[in-house]
A and B are shown apart, each in its own frame.
Chain A
Amino acid sequence: MLEVKDKYDEVFQIEMEGWAYGIANYPGEIFPELVFRVVRELEGSFIAAIEHHYVFNIVEVATMFSKAAKYLVHEKDITFCILSLLPPPAKFDEDGQFVMAQIIDQVEKTYGGALERLEKKWRWDLKYEREKKEAA
């Protein structure tokens, strides 16, 4: 088990609670795209968690956001939205890749189909980057 760098688990917990509070106290009616947009804004936090070797409980985070959204958005959708933000594993070092795999594994166990979808996404990302380079 890798040790969490710089006590990032505490930082991550406070940050996620903060955003959940923001969603819970939103004056209007919550709808899925709004929650997904907030999650997309947190892309940096998820990446930083992996870089700091913190295997965050992705399902728990999704449940927290879903609860904040008064269960108007399903946890599964939020979970897969968070997963879609994770960059291709090539961007991380070996330890980072291991942490990332543990996070994906949680989703794989809970819902299934996570790895398969991510592989598709990464393949597409690689293809897109290659095409972009060729075009340039």
Chain B
Amino acid sequence: MALEHFNQASERAAKSQPVERSNIETAHTKAAESVLRSERHQLKGDDRLQTLLKTPQQESRKAQSKELNIKSGLEANRLITERGRHNVPHVGFIARQLQRSEFRRTRALKPDRQNARYKEHKPVGETREHELQEQIAIRAANQKLLNQTEQNATIKQRQQNDPFAASLAEEKEALPGLAKERQEGAATESPVVASDKSGFNPEGLLRTAGSGVIDIQAGINVQTEPQQTLSPAEGVKLEEIVGPEATLTFREKLREVWGILEEGSTGDLDVIARMPVNLMGASAVELLVVESPQGVYFVAFLRNKNDFDLLEPFDRHALLPPNPSRYLIEAAIIAYEQLDAIVRGGCEKIGEGVSQLAASRSSDDPALVFLRQRWLFAKRRRRRFERIIDYLVGELDEYDLREESNKAGLAGAEKLESLKDGLGEEEQEDSARVVKLADHLGGQGRLKKVL
């Protein structure tokens, strides 16, 4: 009611004083632009400029998404603690939770009819402001396009330097007929590479192994058949988020872990979950759960959220990446719990097999000896998982302790800051000495940062 009244009044005012209104509008726009300009001059660096270019709506969306992500993370934590160590939800559950929250977020952000109607009756000044915001958004889009072109130029440069990346691009651009020729060429070349040490010729062996002629074309057909991917509502392409260069880097890293990852298009990696990770001393790190066309999940750590130029390398033999977050440690615990559950079942079944075989065979039967060895190996593996879980639980406790001490350090730093405001020059020098001492004693980098 009040809104309608306000709208009517503003319309009436607009009709009665059109000249004044336009003057006010231009003055308002000019003032807004001058403020923007001055702020731009003040700010240094691309990152801050990007922040400035973001509209308040974008900011609020970002804040909302952060809040939702944190909420879903907390919900997962709560479930973990409620169900206990031996019955915890797996990573897929967390990913789904995040996906669901993402869906809710996007649905909540869609402009509804009521808002659209409200937009129609907006006061003139507000509409101008909206136009200004749109202009800023267009400028931001242009900037993004420029960055994209720069990135493409960097990729080209990189491909010139790196022959491996160049071959990747070649495969991407190649026509089907040419690809076939290249594959055939590779099939004839590769045995030379493979036979560096032993003279092994896999193709030749395969032919002698009773297969007859191997259909290379069939292999190509398998590679080019449409892969099963998530619908756009469920997944986002990694390339859309991080850009082509970072995707290329990510694929290289993936190949380190999983050598069989298909080379070719970089646009086939779907991001199914995103989570802001608050690592100590690096708050802009983001965790992405990426799904390959083969249905394999990978976790990526984006160190720099603004330009996405660096991806944290991860080693499959390492339990955790350096400076893991609480989420990561918990995810690792869950993963090993799951594996432990399966290994326990497997051990039981193999144990049964050993006892059955032992009943019917002599003790020196080679099959029995080997099976017993495998069984013992599985049991040892189970114990190893238990030890790993204990270690990770310990890491989690340590992380909590570190967080607590950090919080205490920050509180102390804030107190010091408030004290510092009321001090003279000499006293400020003294406080600087105190900070140095604190830094030396506690290694509290944040304390230094705050002061």
Chief secondary structure at chain A's binding surface: helix
User: For chain A residues 24-42, which have a beta carbon within 8 Å of chain B?
Assistant: 24-29, 31-34, 36-38, 41
Chain B CB within 8 A of A84 CB: yes
In the docked arrangement, what's the CA distance between A73 and B93, Å? Answer: 17
Stretch at the interface among B73-81, B99-107, B111-119, B195-203: B195-203
Query: Do A115 and B202 touch (CB < 8 A)?
Result: yes
18 CB-based A-B contacts, threshold 8 Å:
A14-B353, A22-B349, A29-B93, A33-B92, A89-B198, A90-B197, A90-B200, A97-B198, A98-B208, A105-B206, A112-B222, A113-B218, A114-B219, A116-B186, A116-B223, A118-B260, A119-B186, A119-B193
Chain B residues positioned under 8 Å from A24 (CB to CB): 345
Smallest CB separation, A135 vs chain B (Å): 14
Query: Do B92 and A98 touch (CB < 8 A)?
Result: no
Chain B CB within 8 A of A80 CB: yes
Chain A CB within 8 A of B359 CB: no
A124-B259 in contact given A111-B222, A119-B186 (Cβ < 8 Å) = yes
Chain B CB within 8 A of A120 CB: yes
Q: Specify which of A18, A33, A73, A124 lies most central, judged by the most chain B CB atoms within 10 Å of its CB.
A: A18
Smallest CB separation, B338 vs chain A (Å): 6
Mark interface residues in A8-30 (1 if CB within 8 Å of B CB, else 0): 10110011011101111111110
Count residues of chain B with CB under 8 A from any CB of chain A: 69
Query: Do A102 and B187 touch (CB < 8 A)?
Result: no
In the docked arrangement, what's the CA distance between A36 and B295, Å? Answer: 10
Query: Do B219 and A109 touch (CB < 8 A)?
Result: no
Chain B CB within 8 A of A67 CB: no
Smallest CB separation, B84 vs chain A (Å): 13
In the docked arrangement, what's the CA distance between A22 and B218, Å? Answer: 35
Query: Do B205 and A101 touch (CB < 8 A)?
Result: yes
In the docked arrangement, what's the CA distance between A118 and B191, Å? Answer: 11
Chain A residues positioned under 8 Å from B223 (CB to CB): 113, 116
In the docked arrangement, what's the CA distance between A89 and B190, Å? Answer: 13
Query: Do B297 and A33 touch (CB < 8 A)?
Result: yes
Chain B residues positioned under 8 Å from A41 (CB to CB): 339, 343, 381
Q: A90-B198, A97-B200, A112-B221 are in contact. List 15 more A-B contacts (CB 8 A).
A: A6-B369, A11-B371, A17-B349, A31-B90, A33-B92, A89-B202, A90-B197, A101-B206, A105-B210, A113-B223, A116-B223, A117-B260, A117-B262, A118-B202, A119-B193
Query: Do B339 and A38 touch (CB < 8 A)?
Result: yes
User: For chain B residues 181-227, which have a beta carbon within 8 Å of chain A?
Assistant: 183, 186-187, 190, 193-194, 196-198, 200, 202-203, 205-206, 208-211, 214-216, 218-223
Chain B CB within 8 A of A60 CB: no
B residues contacting A by CB (< 8 A) are 87, 89-93, 183, 186-187, 190, 193-194, 196-198, 200, 202-203, 205-206, 208-211, 214-216, 218-223, 255-256, 258-260, 262-263, 294-297, 335, 338-339, 341-350, 353, 357, 365-367, 369-371, 374, 377-378, 381
Query: Do A80 and B294 touch (CB < 8 A)?
Result: yes
Query: Do A11 and B214 touch (CB < 8 A)?
Result: no
Query: Do B345 and A32 touch (CB < 8 A)?
Result: no
A115-B194 in contact given A17-B353, A27-B87, A84-B260 (Cβ < 8 Å) = no
Smallest CB separation, B418 vs chain A (Å): 49
In the docked arrangement, what's the CA distance between A7 and B256, Å? Answer: 36
- Nearest CB in chain A to that of B200: its residue: A89
Chain B residues positioned under 8 Å from A77 (CB to CB): 294-296
Smallest CB separation, A43 vs chain B (Å): 12
Chain B CB within 8 A of A121 CB: yes
Chain A residues positioned under 8 Å from B256 (CB to CB): 128
Query: Do B202 and A14 touch (CB < 8 A)?
Result: no
In the docked arrangement, what's the CA distance between A91 and B343, Å? Answer: 28
